[in-house]
Amino acid sequence: MEQNNIIKMRSLTEAMRVREMLLRKGIRASLIRTPGLENGCGYSLRIGSDIRRAREIVRNFRTGGDT
Amino acid sequence: MIYLDNAATTYPKPQSVRRALGSAAMYSANPGRSGHSLAMKAGENIYSCRVKAAEMFGAKSPENVIFTPGCTYSCNMVIKGLLKSGDHVVVSDMEHNAVMRPLKAMTQRGVTYTAARVASDNDETISNFREALRSSTRLVICTHVSNVWGIRLPVERLAALCRQYGILFMTDAAQSAGVFEINASESGFDFVCIPAHKGLYGTMGTGLLIVSDPQLLSTIIEGGTGSGSISLSQPDFPPDKFESGTPNYPGICALSAGLDFVKTTGIGRIHSKEISLLSELYDRLSANRNVILYTKRPDIRSCGGVMSFNVGDLGSEQCAEYLSKRGIAVRAGLHCAPLAHEHFRTEKRGAVRIAPSYFTNFNEIVTLSRVIAGM
């Protein structure tokens, strides 16, 4: 579940890939450990700005729409 | 020492690889487990290597690149992760035991296989594979370059054949990665198994599996991945699905430097040099009546950087020992590829294998040929 400006990632690899992709689209993101342990350990991206657009991009990426 | 056993592992390694290995051993933390700077840096280095490998081998994305403990492990992941009872497999008659042994083990679980004969003519080889196919054929496995004879097999055409029949295709690129251009996506390779420590100039204990559709494979090992750890179920998404436990971080850093080396040097240049050295050796050995050669003169289109021969009535191990005492390192015997030896009827005596690398020089080949002439 996404909170504020944080988007949870499935894995470190996904986090790094999505971070690169967001940067290409002009959105800065920093890699952090996921706050809370609802799903156990993991990594998230803290989005610098335009969180809505970032979430849409990530959603699109996860459904195979954007690489 | 004149080191000509690069088909076993390349030596020496480029300075950049040695530096990367040393650096990783001194300054590293477990990647993908913690949030401190050392761990994050390690994670970045792993990801960087994954991206480089994806680019070099035409993987759809970095997630389609799986780090493994080696090429043999990659082969096992495919054979044991894919095949079920009733499945049939077609292999070439040149396969290494990295393919044959897990396949043989799978026959205990109801998998069958047929070895298709590799011919001197590629059209005939393709035809032999086609004739071996059955309605139950699930997978075709073919080594890209024979680790004994250096013969390049028509894997791209075989992959195309498999696509026609809806069959999956795996290639063992142990002797071709870093020597021939490989593009998994363009060539339609469903699985490519690659060692880090041969043509990619990395270190032993690391390998790659390039997989077109990770959902095709079940896991053969489960464990901690640093992701979704509240669940006792293995993640079902790559690469985490296939990368349980702490990765070989120093090995992956070395591989990363090796990939850079190969890219900077140029695959074509590396291959060209190896073929040039082998051609020189072939010509010299051809003039020696005691030497038995089994293949045609190496050429860049149809051969990798490997060649084997025998001398007179000597056993291959005797010959290798003779060379070793004179400071020349080669490998003799069956090279973990009994089928390849059966192909040329050398299964009783084996053969002496010569495998140069980019770091081998002309004088070393001349010295080798003179020492053999003195036998």
Q: What is the pLDDT of residues A12-57, one digit of tens each?
A: 999 999 999 999 999 999 999 998 777 778 899 999 889 999 999 9
Query: For residue B130, what are the contacts with CB-CB under 8 A and spacing of at least 6?
Result: B161
DSSP codes, A8-34: E-SSHHHHHHHHHHHHHTT--EEEEEP
Distance from CA of A29 to the nearest CA of B (A): 15
Q: Distance between CA B316 and CA B348 in Å, rounded?
A: 10
Confidence at residue B255, expressed as pLDDT on a 0 to 100 scale: 98
Q: Test B226 with A31 for CB contact under 8 angstroms.
A: no
Query: Under a CB-based contact definition with an 8 Å cutoff, are residues B224 and B78 in contact?
Result: no
Phi, psi angles (nearest 5°) of residue B284: -70, -40
Q: Distance between CA B187 and CA B58 in Å, rounded?
A: 9
Confidence at residue A1, expressed as pLDDT on a 0 to 100 scale: 44
Query: Under a CB-based contact definition with an 8 Å cutoff, are residues A44 and A7 in contact?
Result: yes
Phi, psi angles (nearest 5°) of residue B191: -140, 135
| Partner A contacted by B239 (CB < 8 A) | yes
Q: Test A41 with B240 for CB contact under 8 angstroms.
A: no
Q: Distance between CA B322 and CA B104 in Å, rounded?
A: 35
Nearest to B154 by CA among B176, B132, B185: B176
Confidence at residue A3, expressed as pLDDT on a 0 to 100 scale: 63
Distance from CA of B143 to the nearest CA of A (A): 30
Q: Distance between CA B257 and CA B252 in Å, rounded?
A: 9
Q: Distance between CA A17 and CA A14 in Å, rounded?
A: 5
Q: What's the whole-model pTM score? A: 0.96
- Digits of tens for pLDDT over chain B (375 positions)? 999 999 999 999 999 999 999 999 887 899 988 889 899 999 999 999 999 999 999 999 999 999 999 999 999 999 999 999 999 999 999 999 999 999 999 999 999 999 999 999 999 999 999 999 999 999 999 999 999 999 999 999 999 999 999 999 999 999 999 999 999 999 999 999 999 999 999 999 999 999 999 999 999 999 999 888 889 999 999 999 999 999 999 999 999 999 999 999 999 999 999 999 999 999 999 999 999 999 999 999 999 999 999 999 999 999 999 999 999 999 999 999 999 999 999 999 999 999 999 999 999 999 999 999 999
User: What number of C-beta contacts closer than 8 Å exist between A and B?
Assistant: 62
Confidence at residue A66, expressed as pLDDT on a 0 to 100 scale: 59
Nearest to B344 by CA among B114, B142, B132, B150: B150
Confidence at residue A67, expressed as pLDDT on a 0 to 100 scale: 55
Mutate to test the interface with A, among B49, B60, B227, B232 (most CBs of A within 10 A): B227
- Token pair 């490519």 in the structure block, residue: B192
